[in-house]
Amino acid sequence: MSGNVSSGRVSGGIPVRVSYSAVVTTGIYCLPTCSGRPRPEHVHEYTHAAAAEAAGFRACLRCRPYRAAEPVSWAGPELVCRAVQLILGGALDGGTEADLGARLGVSARHLRRLFAAQIGVTPDGLARSRRTHFARRILDDTDLPVADVAFASGFGSIRQLNRACLDVFRAPPKELRARRRKTDRLVADGGLCLRLPLRAPFDWQAALDYFAARAIPGVEEVAGGVYRRTIEVDGDTGVIELMPPGPAGSGAGSFDHLVLRAHLPHWEGLIHLVERARRIAGLDTDYPEATALLEGDDVLGPLVAKRPGLRVPGAWDPFETGVRAIVGQQVTVAGASRLTGRIVERFGRPVAGLSQLGLTHTFPTATDLAEHDLAGVGLTPARQDAVRAFALAVATGEVRLDRSIGLEELMASLTAIRGVGPWTAAYLALRLGEPDAFPAADLGLRRGVNPVDPPSAAALTRMSERWAPWRALAARHLWAAASDAGTGDRGRR
């Protein structure tokens, strides 16, 4: 991730990805795919829309860059990349730059200096741009009143939303809604529908198959081409559904977004739920950057060519995913789902009226599992102790799953828990979105390299070094290759 420099330059020896072109003669910025053809000497290039806006440019009305996906690149200082991830998760919607810096172990001044050098906008400026772009998409996609749009987007008042829209889009919210195109509005059969922009290609069926095999009974359900799950919103229960555009379950052809259908008790903070929903399908990683590295490898290249739209599966709730990973040690995928379902049935919060969707509970919190005896759900005593120790570590903050710490520190904190080994820690890190997480000891990964004569874990670790910093995506392709060959592991993943 780097600032407003051209694609030919580098930052710290790392090639810079350009996402937006700003034209000084018109004062607008566009996507690279825009049909406009300005003279090259009139163009400034930026990696973030917020940086273009901070420089005084406004969004193009033709290509509408605010509707495009803006994946987070990891080609730059890790601290900046993690700060951007936290901002996307809402760290500055209720906190300050000083609070964000404290989570990352630096001062607010140093953080602003890094952002100015690498992105071209302050952390607060990036957060404000993100909220304003989200509000613009809601104005397009839905009929929510402007007041609801303001609070759903993380603004504290309608006045703040008005001021931000005037600054970024040069028009108030009501005028922006009046400009929307007929095809923008999404019609929902119950719930609120929103677009989740993505960068093609994207293999939705592969993601769906992965989640279907690992769905936690009562909490998750996959049916008719739709992934749905229960969630909690400020203590209240809700449901979200992910599906491709078009008729439910079709998923056919190429598309540039998924549809999120949300059934929520209120719309405040909707922007944070949308960001978490994006992580489920792994929509925020810069896969063009990753595939550019992997496609030239003699092992990974053919696999990437075979499945160009494969993504690393994400997680709605990191704690939930961690519990399932611990439960799944040394058992099959089906067995892990069944055992986790028993935990949910006993300790989760019952939800009424959703049984027709296959949903009955929300997942228990870390505090809940840390305080209860897990005997009787089918886990071995050692596995019970590991789940409770993990829950206690998360509840007390000893283990931080918010991606504010580096991969090595995360792995160390997880493996310090008795019963959580390197495989479980690396798998959880992979599901959290750590792009370089790689459980090299996994038999499925080794069989993905060679189904007849798998390499040792040590040999695979050495081999994987050439895939850094995108080893998580490499792991996803190797698992898929092992599955295609019918030589996958027993299913701990």
Which residues are designated catalytic?
Answer: 30, 442
Nearest to residue 69, comparing CAs of 353, 249, 284?
284
Write down the residue that tokens 């989640």 correspond to: 211
Peptide bond connecting 318 to the previous residue in cis, omega within 30 degrees of 0: no
For the record, the structure tokens of 29 come out as 């910025």
For residue 359, give every residue at least 6 positions away whose Cβ sits within 8 Å of its Cβ, in sequence order, or none.
218, 219, 220, 221, 228, 229, 230, 239, 351
Extract long-range pairs of 289-292: CB within 8 Å, 24+ residues apart.
289/17, 289/73, 289/74, 289/75, 289/470, 290/435, 290/470, 290/473, 291/473
For the record, the structure tokens of 478 come out as 């190797």
Cα–Cα distances in angstroms (integers) from residue 261 to residues 137, 217, 238, in the given order: 14, 20, 11
Identify each DSSP E strand in 346-452 by its residue range.
349-350, 361-362
Q: What residue type is assigned to position 452 of the chain?
A: V
Helix (H, G, I), strand (E, B) or coil at 434: coil
Determine if residue 251 is left, alpha or beta; phi over 0 gives left, psi from -120 to 50 gives alpha, anything else beta: left
